[in-house]
Amino acid sequence: MSFAQRCGLQSHERLAACEQLVKQVESSGIELIRLGWCDLHGVVRGKTIVASQLRQALANGVGMVSTLLLKDSSDRTAFKVFEPGIAQTLPGFSGASNFTLMPDPASWHVLPWTDKTGWLQCQPYLADGRIVPLDSRHVLQQAVQRLTERGWQMRCGLEVEFHIYRLKDPLHGHDLDPDRAGWPGPAPEVSLIHPGFNLLTEALFDQAEEPLRIVQRTAQALGLPLISLEIELGPSQVEAVFDVSDALTAADNMVLFRNATRQALRRAGYHATFMCRPPFEHIMSSGWHLHQSMCERLTGHNVFMRDAPAPGSSPLDALQVLSDAGAAYLAGLLAHAPALTALCTSTSNGYGRFRPNAMAPQSILWGRDNRGAMLRVIGAAGDAATRIENRLGEPAANPYLYMASQIHAGLAGVDAQLKAPEATETPYSPGATLIPTSLANAVRALQKDPTLCQALGQPFVDYYSTLKLAEHQRLALAEDAQEFHRREYFGRI
């Protein structure tokens, strides 16, 4: 029996897809295949096999040390896997045992920035054939299943801000000096690709065209639904906008986009970072704005759209724009916002973004087409594109957890028939409940939210909290906080 059979993966459809992929690889001249898996921090890890091993890998997977799931953001193992009690705390992890990465043949891509190399997405399985329950992609799959059971599908559009810099010495950079190596290592030395503070200026796009062309060609070669590339306000800051897709596809696309962008640009002498606040004095924070709606799976009807404003509703009433279900979903996101923050802004670096009058949220509020509010409701009665934009996220967030958190919080609002408060017109006025101001505070809010703990599973919340509090604690103990951000985030995400 193959391991794929033991995992319950070996359907007739998968067998046919595997056979077709093997023949495609054999006839295409592909030499290497990267087997990638997204860890808790959104970083792609995995192994590279020679093409002749593809059939074996599709049937039986490849081994992976289980501690890769237990790393904090510096790559230190945050759990004591060689001490008593680990088998009870984290079943299957004792002794740094192996997991098996199982490739999905439907995820095949030929990488456009390197020669004769393919890529397959994988998920980790335990020795007995069960999927690893702590895997972040599995967490989203479970959330999507909740929607499927009620006949809904989540639709997501992505607006991703990030920074691109030019490496000062692409061949022998500061981060490649063996005498400066560390754990984590030093950040690269860089210069700007545009001076910033001139939003959407065509001349700055022209100045930054070479790296943006690399981003464009890489994304399109991978089949990603790129709509636009834009010059953002901050120095060297840009934005990529993607068309809508279902939640799992959108999350997969975000993982692939970040991974591909960083690698393709590095080969051309550039450095891309998806950290929220690069460690320089004159920067603008980057956000990841997640546009979301629900549709009926059978008809495609937008569940959030209402045909006409609710009788007697005011322009500040959610029922002026959103259906009853949409307004309750909005209320669920607001009610669980403190806990959601830990999953939407998942690094210590991201919390400097929440400040007044910065085109980023500061308080737990919603508004109608208001970019200062945490939740921006876009559309109108009768508009099939009616949706909720969550502006809470940072571009370094794990996309599977970001989207799963929205589903669970939104459905909690729908199931409890929560009522949304009035929309804000002044999102930075005092008096509203503030977004958590640190990663530690957000994690504690998650730990205290019984609805999300139940939806995500208490073992997952405990696991996530351990890793993220370890990250926060190392920052608290750092002698130089700025250097911590350089090493922890700038050179790595």
pLDDT in tens, 20-32: 999 999 999 999 9
Structural tokens at position 464:
């996530």
**Amino acid (1-letter code) at residue 219:** A
CATH number at residue 70: 3.10.20.70
Query: Of the candidates 198, 38, 179, 26, which has an alpha carbon nearest to the alpha carbon of residue 122?
Result: 38
| pLDDT grade for 89, boundaries at 50, 70 and 90 | confident
Structural tokens at position 337:
């916002």
* pLDDT one-digit tens code per residue, 252-290: 999 999 999 999 999 999 999 999 999 999 999 999 999
Q: Which domain holds residue 455?
A: 145-490
Which of 132, 159, 189 is the endpoint of a domain? Answer: 132
Specify if 140 maps to a domain. no
**Residue 309: in which H helix or E strand, if any?**
none
Q: What pLDDT shows up at residue 232?
A: 98
- CA 204, CA 143: separation in Å to the nearest integer? 41
Rounded to 5 degrees, φ, ψ at 149 are -65, -25
Whether 88 has a pLDDT exceeding 90, the answer reads no
Higher pLDDT, 328 or 87: 328
* pLDDT one-digit tens code per residue, 123-174: 999 999 999 999 999 999 999 999 999 999 999 999 999 999 999 988 767 7
Are residues 155 and 278 both part of a single domain? yes
Are residues 87 and 180 both part of a single domain? no
Query: Of the candidates 248, 235, 196, 448, which has an alpha carbon nearest to the alpha carbon of residue 342?
Result: 448
- CA 420, CA 98: separation in Å to the nearest integer? 47
Are residues 329 and 470 both part of a single domain? yes
Are residues 223 and 359 both part of a single domain? yes
Q: Using a cut of 0.95, tell me whether the model's pTM lies above it.
A: yes
Span 418-439, mean pLDDT? 96
Specify if 280 maps to a domain. yes
Are residues 263 and 189 both part of a single domain? yes
- CA 235, CA 194: separation in Å to the nearest integer? 6
Mean pLDDT, all residues of the chain: 96
Three-class DSSP labels, 196-231: CCCCCCHHHHHHCHHHHHHHHHHHHHCCCCEEEEEE
